[in-house]
Structure 1
Amino acid sequence: MKKTITFILLLLLICSGNSYNVYAKETPPSVSADSAVVLDAATGQLLYSKNPDSAYPPASTTKIMTALLTLENTNLNDKVVIGKNPPAVEGTRLGLYPGEEMTVRDLLYGLLLASDNDCAEALAEHISGSMDKFAVKMNIRAKKLGAENTNFINPTGLFNENHKTSARDLSLIMRALSKIPEYSKIATTLSYTIPPTNKSTQPRTVWNENKLVQKQSMYYYSGCEGGKTGYTIQSLHSYVATATRNGETLIVALVHDKNKTFFPDSISLFNFGFNNFQLVKLYSKGDVVTTYNKNKLSVPLIAASDFYYVKEKDDKSIPNLKLKNENLSFKLFKAGDVVNKATIYFKGTNIGALNLLSGVSHDEKQILNSDIIENMVIKNKYIIPAAILFLAAIAVFTIKKYIF
């Protein structure tokens, strides 16, 4: 019995002694939303998913697409003249007046902080002239972002059975929006006062409904850079938010939540992502990735951009790359030209591609002086006609270069 107890104590000591160095992957949290994801913003990789492509009515989380199109197509100081339709919209309203003049900035604060539907419609009309034309623009932009399970009918999120999106798609829209600095500035503001206008003598103050940015809230989340809630009776609750910690940005999206637990669920999902996964920079722009060596031609191949990947924190696996099969011996290029592409694999999965630039120039003179031409002519009589044609092509290229 004494030996058994000693053995158990020793085993516990061994197991606990190194626990602070081990990043054991946690069990993913349970959330009540019917569609949910955690997306790494740098790579677009999903770190968690629950029915990621199931589409539901998203309510006012729709407004992140309205905000994206506004920030992409207007200036914050642009003047907007309110038409007759926005003041009559259903749901939450700032209280706009027909003919009222207001800046895009003021309307964005009303849109993102207080979720005002009249602000959404005013911005839509300002950008596209009508709600229908703006919806077309919304759907075109969604498809460009890879949102394949999305169909927008209006800029507000007011219920329509054909107005739908999924958690994955919502996260892709937030990914694009979060790259615009003006968005985070607006979305993390706790309150904003809209000054008097030509139609309103009184200032109007809007308050941020996103509890993850409110320091006094029990749901405050350090690093949250913005979020948007949504609710209608038919659509239920939805939420999307972005947060950054230690240089890594994650996006959480929850769609169709009947229990209204999206704030605590989002915190659980953010913690799961940050605790268990790590963003790693594999190459920086300008790094020499590898060197092309063939036929006595040596070409440093340089990363055209930064390349990141995400891994579990306890994973020691290393990515590998596969170059496109390119023969550079007969190609003309300058230093800095794209001459190849590397496909990056991690644990057997394709995680992206990286354009490769040449670190040197390769001109006609170098080709003509290369051993490969000599070998073609001397060692293989059957390639002589091809060699002659190739040399003729080089000559024509050179003459055209200097004459034309």
Structure 2
Amino acid sequence: MKYKWRYLLIFTLIVFIVTSISNITFAQEVPTITAPNGVLIDYETGKVLFDKNAHQQTYPASTTKVMTAVLVLENANLDDKVTIDYDLYVDGSSMYLLRGESFTVKELLHALLIRSANDTAEALAIHVAGSVEKFVEMMNQRAKELGALNTNFSNPHGLPDTSHVTTAYDLAMIAKHAMSFDLFREIVNTPMLTFEPTEQTPETRYYRNTNKFLWGTGIGNQMLYDGKYINIKYDIIDGIKTGYTGAAKQCLISSGVKDDHRLISVILGAEGVDVYSDSRTLIDYGHANFKLVSLTGKNSDQLKVPVKNGKENYVNISIANDKLSIIPNNTKLSDITESISINENIKAPITQGQALGKLSYSLDNEVIGEIDLIAKESIEEQPILLKLLKPSKFFVIFISAFILWQIFIAYLRIKKRNRKRFSYRKRSPIYNFNKNIFK
């Protein structure tokens, strides 16, 4: 008995050590950044993977121009000509547009996002809304619609203004939407921009992208990262926008793609090249510790659910579309549980694509994804006349019982009648007549 307890104690100790090692091995070390504000989100799902004061209001500087670009892409014809028929001067980074020059909206978008030209931002704002003031109203309304609830813009370029504020999270939401535009992705990933001479500006304009992640190599373009100096250029980064003012300090929104998995980081208020090391720290952390998985895969299974008052008694339902989720790298798909909930009292009419339930996925008792279950076809309502004529279950049972009862009564009557007939024959005398007696 003494040895039994000793073995049990040793076994318990081994289990504890193994469990502890396992926890240490798979622990996800949260990164540290020097900037006061930062966030990392998954592009597909919008899930926040890192948060440092991500909802604290601060100055965005030229990262504002992402919002400006979104409104231009949504409200202007890219081939429209914008003619500068007024004197235009804005402080800070500029394309130095002169009265009489004409460019397409698309060309000005390139200058806005690559050169980070403040005068271009105002020219586009006036082209889209008629005035900078009206454009700012559009910016604030659209920002709220995109989930940027703690943002207030007062201009289209980001020059200092105490009322011009946003948050790291809000900029991530705006950038997430902006990256859904093919042209936006193409522009913010362009290292160099050239404008041919115009009558007003006889020399060629050459602009290098303000984002050193796209081209920064060699002395003067290095940063301290992971204990050593390396080039700022990082091949997995494909945009998106820098910003700097004395009040805002260094700001950067970055998009990093690895194995078809895109992450978006936002760093606000950094010092010098730390904005790049902080951004890379978050992007690398996200790719090292999280993966994007399909919860539904190619699931094409269909379910049938009953329909009330329909021409058909059942409707086929299936998933609306594929559902993606971001999960820790060490998570097994088998750890994810699936549950189905169907709406109660489903009645006709039903339209194709109508949501009739939900498919939920959970990991460690936390819902990580939900997707609608939709009708595969339309079901028309049964005509009122047919509904009235259509017997209910109770009516059918009643009629069936009544018919059986009548059959039983008829059987008893026939049986009784047969009995009487037999009894009468038994009591009556038998006469034998001679067929010739009456002759």
> 1:315 offset after TM fit, Å?
1.6
**1:325 and 2:335 correspond:** no
**Which structure is larger by alpha-carbon Rg, 1 or 2?**
2
Within the candidate set 31, 34, 47, 1:32 is matched to 34
Report what 2:321 is aligned to. 305
Higher RCO, Cα 8 Å, sep 6+:
1
TM-score by length of 2: 0.74
With over 3 angstroms needed to count, the CA separation of the structure-2 counterparts of 1:362 and 1:122, relative to structure 1, is closer
> 1:374 offset after TM fit, Å?
3.6
Q: Which structure 2 residues correspond to residues 1-400 of structure 1 after superposition, within 5 A? A: 24-84=26-86, 86=88, 88-214=89-215, 216=217, 218-258=231-271, 260-283=273-296, 287-288=300-301, 290-292=303-305, 298-316=314-332, 317-328=335-346, 330-333=347-350, 336-342=352-358, 344-347=360-363, 348-360=365-377, 362-364=379-381, 374-378=392-396
Distance between the aligned counterparts of 1:126 and 1:321, measured in 2?
A: 51
Distance between the aligned counterparts of 2:377 and 2:267, measured in 1?
A: 49
Distance between the aligned counterparts of 1:40 and 1:23, measured in 2?
A: 24
- Whether the 8 Å CA contact 2:160–2:247 is kept in 1: the answer is yes
| Amino acid paired to 1:59 | A
With over 3 angstroms needed to count, the CA separation of the structure-2 counterparts of 1:80 and 1:360, relative to structure 1, is closer
Can you list the C-alpha shifts for 1:177-234, whole angstroms capped at 9, x where unaligned? Answer: 1010101211111111112234222221111121222274612222322121111111
| Amino acid paired to 1:136 | E
Can you list the C-alpha shifts for 1:253-312, whole angstroms capped at 9, x where unaligned? Answer: 112224541111111111111111111112258733654368995543212222111111
Secondary structure, aligned partner of 1:146: coil
> 1:127 offset after TM fit, Å?
0.9
- Whether the 8 Å CA contact 1:288–1:300 is kept in 2: the answer is no
Distance between the aligned counterparts of 1:293 and 1:285, measured in 2?
A: 25
| Amino acid paired to 2:328 | E
| Amino acid paired to 2:371 | L
Distance between the aligned counterparts of 2:66 and 2:329, measured in 1?
A: 31
- Whether the 8 Å CA contact 2:343–2:357 is kept in 1: the answer is no
Distance between the aligned counterparts of 2:122 and 2:25, measured in 1?
A: 47
Q: What is the root-mean-square deviation of aligned Cα atoms in Å?
A: 3.1
- Whether the 8 Å CA contact 2:232–2:276 is kept in 1: the answer is yes
With over 3 angstroms needed to count, the CA separation of the structure-2 counterparts of 1:380 and 1:42, relative to structure 1, is farther
> 1:349 offset after TM fit, Å?
3.2
Distance between the aligned counterparts of 2:125 and 2:284, measured in 1?
A: 36
Can you list the C-alpha shifts for 1:333-362, whole angstroms capped at 9, x where unaligned? Answer: 36x331413152423334454232223554
Distance between the aligned counterparts of 1:292 and 1:221, measured in 2?
A: 52
> 1:364 offset after TM fit, Å?
5.0
Secondary structure, aligned partner of 2:160: coil
| Amino acid paired to 2:336 | I
- Whether the 8 Å CA contact 1:194–1:205 is kept in 2: the answer is yes
- Whether the 8 Å CA contact 2:307–2:348 is kept in 1: the answer is no
- Whether the 8 Å CA contact 1:322–1:344 is kept in 2: the answer is yes
> 1:326 offset after TM fit, Å?
2.7
Identity %: 33
| Amino acid paired to 2:292 | L
| Amino acid paired to 2:344 | E
Distance between the aligned counterparts of 1:286 and 1:98, measured in 2?
A: 59
Residue correspondences, number: 360
Report what 1:8 is aligned to. none
